[in-house]
Copies of this chain bind each other. A is one copy, B any other.
Amino acid sequence: MTTLDEKFRALEADNAPGQEVRQEIGDLDAIMRGNKFDGIPVDFSHGDVDAFPPTPGSSSAFESGFEIGGRQAYTEYRGAARIREDLAERLGTFTGRPVSAENELIITPGTQGALFLALGATVTNGTRVAVVEPDYFANRRLVSFFGGEIVPIPLDYGESKTVHGLDLNRIENAFNNDTRVFVFSTPNNPTGLVASTDTITEISRLAASYDVAVIVDQLYSRMLYRGETFTHLRSCDNQPENLITIMGPSKTESLSGFRLGTAFGTPGIIDRMERLQAIVSLRAAGYNQAVLDTWFREPEGWMENRIREHEAIRDELLPIFRDAGFPTATPQAGSYLFPQLPRLDIDPAAFVRLLRHQAGVTVTPGTEFAPGSNDSIRLNFSQDHAAAVAAAKRIVEMVEIYQK
């Protein structure tokens, strides 16, 4: 049996996005070559909500929630009925299948909260869970925390679009070998790859046929770049009995500071998620829930503009890394880049810390996303455009200094 010590060693979070401030500098000065760089520090570990501010009206929506008073402070654990009713309609329209506000939707403390509840509702000691590599860092940790067993599904994220994607044979093989749950993100975090219509349709069919519960994290599905197509698993004809879709306004809409997320799908799982929420944190902060009224109701042109601005940053960063010889997949959606670094003559983990210490650039090490990705780094490029470009160039210079 796993001891608490082992359980929490697996949850080690010193390199998790945002936690870098807790790291000791240690002996970095001893291994640093040359001097510190000039330039505006950029924290690519998460989006910069000062560069891309929250949806207009979000602060006053909060204020309206506060003014409502007690009714808004103490909502049902799954969230205020009135807000769920409005939201269910918009989520149903967006994802191509109606959502029942009464039975199929829960408002959570961020999409992290939704993931935690969804995995807590489906995974227990010994449950085999298919997890994509690379994928959002918490997926693997959550499965371990609940006592599940990880069945890795590799994602091919090479530069050429024709070869990339999830290996459907590996997925079917996992499903055929007692896997009970499949969790994955599309757009994929950290690569920005969007699962194709064929892939999604086939995953849905396989999950239905092998009775596997599917948890699909679509956090970035609204920030879709020109020429790309997004397919919602919940719009497929042949669906698994247990399917939860996770979305939230934290990213594209820069509403992370409010900690809001949603999960929608199979009523039985939503019920369990609510029961779990009751002992985890009761509910998403009551007043904050009112901010969901702004979601999918942004001012005309606002979202299009936001997507265009991110696409412009993507299009300038990609050649910087590729010209330097770092293989980097083209993100089809979202604001993550996952460049693969050349071989360095220092430990990649030390390089990531030096990047921060010497060059003022914070990135997330690839090992957070897959055990074997220690030569890659993740950047959230939702940043000031010019500062992000300058920081990307500093990364390339740093690699030159520490290259083998």
A contact set with B: CB distance below 8 Å:
1-4, 7-8, 11-13, 16, 18-19, 21-22, 46, 48-50, 53, 59, 62-63, 65-66, 69-70, 72-77, 81, 108-110, 112-113, 116, 121-122, 124-126, 138, 141-142, 145, 147, 254, 256-259, 272, 274-276, 278-288
Contact = CB atoms under 8 A, between A and B. Distances in A.
Contact of A66 (B125, B257, B259): B257
Given A59-B66, A112-B280, A116-B281, A22 B76 contact: yes
Contacts of A125: 1-2, 125, 147
B286 A259 contact: yes
Contact of A285 (B22, B69, B70, B259): B259
B112 A282 contact: yes
B281 A112 contact: yes
A190 to B, nearest CB: 17
A119 B321 CA distance: 45
A360 to B, nearest CB: 16
A259 to B, nearest CB: 4
Given A3-B124, A50-B69, A256-B286, 9 more contacts: A8-B121, A8-B276, A11-B278, A11-B279, A16-B278, A22-B76, A72-B257, A142-B279, A288-B288
Contacts of A69: 49-50, 53
A280 B145 CA distance: 11
Contacts of A22: 76
A4 B276 CA distance: 12
Contact of A77 (B19, B48, B77): B19
Nearest to A69: B50
A249 B124 CA distance: 34
B76 A21 contact: yes
Contact of A256 (B48, B73, B276): B73
A160 to B, nearest CB: 34
Contacts of A76: 18-19, 21-22
Contacts of A53: 69
Given A22-B76, A121-B8, A288-B285, A141 B279 contact: yes
A387 to B, nearest CB: 13
B113 A281 contact: yes
Contacts of A72: 257
A274 B66 contact: no
A73 B279 contact: no
A145 B12 contact: no
Contacts of A256: 73-74, 286
Contacts of A21: 76, 81
Contacts of A272: 4, 8, 11
Contacts of A279: 11, 112, 116, 138, 141-142, 145
A23 B223 CA distance: 39
Nearest to A139: B279
Contacts of A63: 59, 63
A42 to B, nearest CB: 12
Contacts of A48: 70
A13 B121 CA distance: 14
Contacts of A286: 256-257, 259
Contact of A275 (B8, B50, B258): B8
A298 to B, nearest CB: 18
Nearest to A276: B11
A228 to B, nearest CB: 28
